[in-house]
Amino acid sequence: MTQDEIIKMAHQTSKEWAKEFPTPEETAHQVPKRFLEIFAKLVAKKEREWCASFIEELDERGFKELAGLIRSRGQK
């Protein structure tokens, strides 16, 4: 994952976080933990997709099922 991709996810996290805590009063004690939770989920999703796509490229070796298993980890 590139630095630009991570920065883009941080911006996306800010938008998602602002939906949950739209006023300063609501964000006073929630910002760091919740922001990081959202960000961590986005990073993990991006990494799972990269891994699954890589595995799909190995399809001729019978690894296609692994791509589905990698993607399903985000649904737990």
Residue 28 pLDDT? 59
**Mean pLDDT across the stretch 6-23?**
78
Among 66, 68, 70, 46, residue whose Cα is nearest residue 58: 66
C-alpha dist (Å) from residue 37 to 32, 61, 65, 67: 9, 36, 29, 24
In a domain, 62, yes or no: yes
Q: Are 55 and 68 in contact (CB under 8 A)?
A: no
In a domain, 42, yes or no: yes
In a domain, 63, yes or no: yes
Total tally of structural domains belonging to the chain: 1
The Cα 47–Cα 1 span in angstroms is 7
In a domain, 16, yes or no: no
Q: pTM of the predicted model, to two decimals? A: 0.56
In a domain, 76, yes or no: yes
Q: Are 54 and 76 in contact (CB under 8 A)?
A: no
In a domain, 19, yes or no: no
Range of the domain at 72: 1-9+30-76
In a domain, 24, yes or no: no
Model confidence at 49: pLDDT above 70: yes
In a domain, 15, yes or no: no
